[in-house]
Structure 1
């Protein structure tokens, strides 16, 4: 809402800064960060009073990881509420409220956060690691992706651009002449991203630390995509109005940094599915909005690797009866190989940073 202060620039020129996306993006980052810091302690205290503690896993899994994570049982979960509160609050303050892309991404992210909240709540109440049935999760994720795809493809302003697929490091833009048949691809992107972050969320600070780099990359690409001059110069598909998503991604960046303050080892709170499903969904929604779905594979390389490790493990066991990894997702494999939790987390952060830098380098290496 603060965007409209620029209308007062006639009486005071300083109000003109509220027009600029760069200024509002930086402000959104700092606002989300401070919201996270301010609400962090009260939120954690409330979750403790309500006994929203993280349930331990099933007996078979605990037998392998009890020595590593047994002490974490009871740590408050649903910390994703803190991320969502900071994200929504910051966006409402600094983004243009009439922007179509903003509401598609903010609405979809909030819906997936609500799905994760219900899943976390059932786990706490039932005191089991299983919450909502997997098929129900997939159905809701598919519905969110479907609605977002319909809103993008059905709009005269965004439908034409939504059918474009940009390939990192190539100047050309491939046009998918599928029309509404492009929806299954959107479903794959949003569902895959949401579940990949969910699978990565297994160690203190791991998923949220990797999310910081992805949010920064998409903040940059959203800004470039929305600028006709920059997008033309850098051979990035121009999507009118998409630069406002830079504010959304910047708010997500600040919210992630703020949450990491409380989630770093030893974690005072876990994001739970409330945060992981929402974060992954947010990245997927932004990527389809600006036509950079393949960039998400590069920037979110750690999430992709973690998801692939689970797919490979399951496929190998069902086909051959043997396991490729000591345990999946991959971060648990390295733990069982003797790596400490902090070592695994920091090294995955480093790899995530490299993935982000590689993604950003694709702006010029074309």
Structure 2
């Protein structure tokens, strides 16, 4: 919006074209919006008793959290949207693609949260319908991305830690992109089981992609780092900054002991955005590294299900894996901080994989 005002109203604010300047402003704006509005949402949700629904087969100590409000993701989405509208170049279609999945997956998550609260059970939206609507929009989004990207470039997959780091996957690229969006969204949702557990890994991964989006916009930097050149990708860095700021504002209230949870409205939307950014930057495989925590959480659930079906035994005391460590008696704050540390290391490994060869 600032770019539009500067261009058409002749405000002569040329400093707004400076990407780092807009990144900082975007981060601070979303941070303070989140910080300011979250207490009002907490009071509203407490007044109308919109509390977190604890699943019956979860850790028993989580029943202490049953009077903590949920759906804090509403403010996360709003602050990201508001900051993006102000500081991003709105003529860039990639910005609108990310905003669209942020809102669409947010709506799906909101319906899921609302049904849980209304019926006072942890089932919420039926799984088949949840995946159906998420899949429909993911496929639609991939079609739009493909339509706006040259076919020969769209099917290129960047392979980390490989000297010939581009590989043509053709139509498999579409399936992979679908899996990245839906899979990442659900993986973030699975990770969101302890106070502040999911939001910091999201912030770390988004920070990594913010750096990559800056380098991808320059053909010399992209050639040097062996990453895809994506025209105007630096605008994504401004949106990523909004996500970081909003996440930090939310963490202020979500850190242990949490005063509010993001709910599915937050986790599904943030996961969908993370996956979409990876696709736009052609870094789907890098997301597997930088989002390694989400991968581990999702795999632990899959292994638990397979182990129980095949061996009739559980591989973990409880899945996702953070509950396994809870059941082993490790204190919740200890688990959270250690997950943050591991997540940060995953991001660093992902970043050095860009130029390791």
- TM above 0.5: yes
TM bin (shorter chain): over 0.9
Shift of 1:161: 2.8
Which one of the candidate residues 216, 219, 224 is aligned to 1:225?
Answer: 216
Query: Counterpart of 2:126?
Result: 133
C-alpha distance in 1 between matches for 2:163 and 2:213? 17
Query: Counterpart of 1:118?
Result: 111
C-alpha distance in 1 between matches for 2:332 and 2:153? 43
Does residue 240 of the first structure (1) align with residue 238 of the second (2)? no
Which one of the candidate residues 292, 303, 322 is aligned to 2:294?
Answer: 303
Shift of 1:363: 3.1
C-alpha distance in 2 between matches for 1:235 and 1:92? 31
Structure 2 unaligned spans of 5+: none
Maintained 8 Å contact 1:44/1:269: yes
Q: Within 5 A, what are the aligned runs for 1:159-178?
A: 159-178=151-170
Query: Counterpart of 1:55?
Result: 53
Secondary structure class of the residue paired with 2:157: strand
Does residue 22 of the first structure (1) align with residue 15 of the second (2)? no
Maintained 8 Å contact 2:26/2:238: yes
TM-score, normalised to structure 1, is: 0.94
User: Structure 1 pair 175/363, CA: closer, same or farther in 2 (3 Å)?
Assistant: closer
Secondary structure class of the residue paired with 2:198: helix
Maintained 8 Å contact 1:149/1:186: yes
C-alpha distance in 2 between matches for 1:159 and 1:6? 35
Q: Could you list the runs of 4 or more consecutive aligned residues of structure 1 that deviate by over 6 angstroms after TM superposition?
A: 8-11
Query: Counterpart of 1:102?
Result: 95
C-alpha distance in 1 between matches for 2:255 and 2:230? 37
Maintained 8 Å contact 1:53/1:73: yes
Query: Counterpart of 1:84?
Result: 77
Query: Counterpart of 1:187?
Result: 178
Shift of 1:168: 1.4
TM-score, normalised to structure 2, is: 0.96
C-alpha distance in 2 between matches for 1:11 and 1:277? 39
User: Please, which moves more after superposition, 233-242 or 29-38?
Assistant: 233-242
Shift of 1:57: 1.4
Shift of 1:239: 1.3
Question: Could you report, residue by residue, the CA deviation over 1:113-156 in whole angstroms, capped at 9, with x for unpaired residues?
Answer: 1100000000000000000111111111111211111011112x
Question: Could you report, residue by residue, the CA deviation over 1:163-193 in whole angstroms, capped at 9, with x for unpaired residues?
Answer: 11111133434342525x5322211111110
Which one of the candidate residues 306, 309, 325 is aligned to 2:316?
Answer: 325
User: Structure 1 pair 152/212, CA: closer, same or farther in 2 (3 Å)?
Assistant: same
Does residue 33 of the first structure (1) align with residue 45 of the second (2)? no
Maintained 8 Å contact 1:165/1:291: yes
CA RMSD of aligned residues (A): 1.7
C-alpha distance in 1 between matches for 2:343 and 2:75? 23
Aligned residue pairs, count? 357
Secondary structure class of the residue paired with 1:206: coil
Question: Could you report, residue by residue, the CA deviation over 1:78-132 in whole angstroms, capped at 9, with x for unpaired residues?
Answer: 1110110111011001001111111111101210011000000000000000001
